[in-house]
Amino acid sequence: MRVAVIGAGIVGVTTAFELANDGHVVTVFERCSSVAAEGSFANAGVLAPGYVTPWAAPGMPGKVLRHCLSQHAPVRWGGRLGPGGTAWLWKWWRSCKNETYTRNRGRMHRLAHAGRARRRALTDALQLDHERSAGYLVLLRRPQDLELAQAGLKILTDLGTRFEVLDAEACRGVEPDLNPQTGLHAGIHVVDDEVANCRQFAQLMRQEAQKLGALFRFGTTVRGIDAGARPTLRFDTSGASSQETFDAVVVCAALDSRSLLAPFGLKLPLLAVHGYSITAPMRQSEADGNGGPRSGVMDERYKVSISRFGNRLRVAGSAEIGGTPSRINDKALHTLHHVLNDWYPGVARLDQAQVWKGARPMLPDGPPVIGASGVPGVWLNLGHGSSGWAMANGSARLLADLVGGLPPSIDAEGLGIERL
């Protein structure tokens, strides 16, 4: 089949690869000049399937309210929610029931674990060379942090995830350059998790998709879809309007998916939850191996990760509800600096730091929507929120199976649009 993919973030690129790998003739439409240029550009890079979980969780509304009043908060209020924002919050609140949370957590875990297996298989088979390192250490500053982590540890156990609960001394054995002046009670070390460069992987996936015949049209904005047995895309490129007909269209356009699907009566409850990161080169001595994390660490109290990519550090975190990508919240950056200075003071050249803020399209109950849209010829793979990197390869494989009429390699239960 001739298949169009709208969007070339990590989800769109992996989807294009899987479709091309199955023998389809694929064209990718992307408004930016390269892949992974927006929400996938500078994310934390953490790949920890056991920690992929819905925002809609029991007790979460109260936590969000308390966080919004804190100086160094993992969750912040960014401003106007935009159209549908109030309805999104209502649906999110209703999804925080334990039964709903448990179902959705299981759906996300399926995608994240399948995604890890698929990503590693492709990395080995195609000899993909990208920045990555094994291991993930969750830092627990206080005894009460370890107590609060017990529910999460039970989930890891139920999933069969290999982990160790370490005391402070053992944590420093895993990450010897942690600042000894910062109080540390314990840590959770997950040996099978990893840190990897999402944007690099997306670029490699683009190259592999192109080898299979996929065409990438950058600087092209899709204006609309005319649905049918053979849907037509209307798009603008190089200042000119055009259109093209396909056998199927896959929408991976993040928040822009709303306007593309609205004419069909599909009002997907997508909300921008923004994340921040700071990426900075390490000082020369630290880059040589003395200083900084060996892989990735997460400060559980502030929900801020510090990851190492070659001779660079990336500090990432914050969940900003509402607002716009262009407005930088200095308080969010201050929290990132605060956590970096607590654990690795002086390691990074912050005068050369790159600041990033990205919009993560989140559905109120957590899992993405993958599969047929109900509109003839139109398919969906979107709404991954802050876990797009972890779930991308699994989502792409599932979508390709469904489009091609193949037996799904991943259980698709609860991931269709009928859930919403």
What separation in angstroms does the CA of 346 have from each of 174, 292, 308? 20, 10, 15
Q: How confident is the model at residue 287, as a pLDDT?
A: 55
Residue 285: predicted pLDDT: 62
pLDDT in tens, 301-329: 999 999 999 899 999 998 888 878 888 88
The pLDDT of residue 144: 94
Beta bridge partners of 271: 362
**What stretches of 131-219 adopt beta strand conformation (E)?**
132-140, 163-167, 186-196, 215-217
* The token pair that represents 177 in the structure block: 């350059």
Can you give the pLDDT at residue 339? 96
Give me the pLDDT at residue 79, please.
73
The owner of tokens 């605060």 is: 338
Res 232: pLDDT: 97
**Rounded to a whole number, what is the distance in angstroms from the first to the last CA of the chain?**
28
The residue among 170, 111, 10, 175 whose CA lies nearest residue 368 is: 111
Tell me the percentage of the chain whose pLDDT exceeds 90.
Answer: 80
Q: What is the CA radius of gyration of the chain?
A: 21
Helix (H, G, I), strand (E, B), or coil: what is residue 101?
Answer: helix
Buried b (16+ CB within 10 A) or exposed e, 312-324: bbbbbbbbbbbbe
Q: How far apart are CA 89 and CA 230, in angstroms?
A: 36
Closest alpha carbon to 364 in 226, 267, 264, 265: 267
Q: Which residues of the chain have pLDDT under 70?
A: 67-71, 285-290
Question: Is the Cβ–Cβ distance between 5 and 30 less than 8 Å?
Answer: no
pLDDT digits (tens, 9 = 90+) for 32-69: 999 999 999 999 999 999 899 998 888 887 877 776 66
* Of residues 208, 257, 231, 215, the one with CA closest to residue 18: 208
Is residue 306 within 8 Å of residue 297, measured between CB atoms? yes
Q: H or E element: which one contains 14?
A: helix 10-21
